[in-house]
Amino acid sequence: LSLLRVAANSIISKSILINLLKFSTGFVDLQTEKADLMENVGAIPFLDYKHFASRIFFPEDAVKVQLDECCQGLSRLIQDQLFLTTMVHALEGQKSFTIKDKCALASLLTVALHSNLSYLTSVMEVLLRDLIQQNSSGQPKLLLRRTQSIVEKLLTNWMSICLYGFLRENVGQHLFLMVSALTQQIAKGPVDCVTEKALYTLSEDWLLWQAQDFSSLKLNVLFAVGSDGQVSEPLEVNALSCDTVEQVKEKILSTFRAKFGFPYNAPLKEIQYEKNGCFVLLEEVDATSEVIGDVTMLNTLEHYKVRNREEGVKR
């Protein structure tokens, strides 16, 4: 039994060393590669304040409605601080009032009181004081960390309003470049499209430990122009042999946006691979997909034998 333990520990240690060697080699490769960030990020897509606030307050598309007399009456009522704070506390006390409902109400209140930020601030201070007193005997360390109350979402919206100018004029470009750099580095290695774990990641929790062999590819992508068979100039897209069809689509759209400064005006419903004058439709799953037990493997560029620069991908 002891010999088996020693053998098992030896195998595990060798496996860890092999993985560490691979990761260290990959890290060195990333450090020594030419930095092409500034060339590839394209124009920085700053939103105007209206669209910035709309995305912060309402991440999901909201239905536009016309204000009626009842809404106007409610608008007058929420100008009374006692009524507003009492209403918020009453809604918070309802078990059927979900976190999603709380966030929606907070965003609606922010929009309704946007023209009077001093009043919104005073209401928020009262609600924050009540929240702090309520949690003083519970778990104070979790306060303002989970956005589970109306006032926490109000605070998030209020900070977004106050920080918009600073984000746009000062740190917005740096944040955008940082996110773009991280995205580019992650895209240089395999990413599991199901678990979203990656070979090149900042978090060990999201590390793809068992990465398959892969190679870098450069694809020449042609977009259909009109309905008479005309195509655009080729767009060079960096991809990996282990990328699935959907991952390739995402990289095509990302490259298009980076090069031209605006997104492609239609979703990529299908892409075709051209070889020797013939077109092959690329699909995530088709009749040629590999099946291992009860699991159907997603098709990759390697599955379709796509090679570097020799062929093209066409929308």
What pLDDT is stored for residue 85 in this prediction? Answer: 93
Distance CA 265, CA 227 (A): 16
Contact in structure between 112 and 77 (CB atoms under 8 Å): no
The pair of structure tokens assigned to 110 is 């922010």
The pair of structure tokens assigned to 86 is 């009492």
Distance CA 306, CA 309 (A): 9
What pLDDT is stored for residue 271 in this prediction? Answer: 84
Which CATH code of 3.40.640.10, 3.40.50.180, 3.10.20.90, 3.40.50.300 fits the domain covering 200-314?
Answer: 3.10.20.90
Distance CA 252, CA 244 (A): 12
What crossing angle do the helices spanning 81-92 and 99-112 adopt, rounded to 10°?
170
Query: Would you kindly state where each structural domain of the chain is located, as residue ranges?
Result: 49-167, 200-314
Within 10 A of 258 (CB to CB), how many other CB atoms are there?
A: 16
What pLDDT is stored for residue 260 in this prediction? Answer: 80
Residue 256 CB partners (closer than 8 Å, separation 6+): 235, 263, 264
What pLDDT is stored for residue 32 in this prediction? Answer: 52
pLDDT in tens, the chain (315 residues): 566 666 666 766 666 666 666 656 655 555 555 455 555 555 667 777 777 777 777 776 655 556 677 778 888 899 999 999 999 999 988 989 999 999 999 999 998 898 899 999 999 999 999 888 887 766 667 677 777 889 999 999 999 888 888 988 888 888 888 888 888 888 989 999 989 999 888 888 888 888 788 999 998 888 877 667 677 888 889 999 999 999 999 998 888 888 887 778 777 777 888 877 788 888 899 888 999 888 899 999 999 888 876 545 555
Distance CA 300, CA 248 (A): 9
Q: pTM of the full predicted structure?
A: 0.65
What pLDDT is stored for residue 201 in this prediction? Answer: 85
What pLDDT is stored for residue 52 in this prediction? Answer: 78
Distance CA 154, CA 125 (A): 10
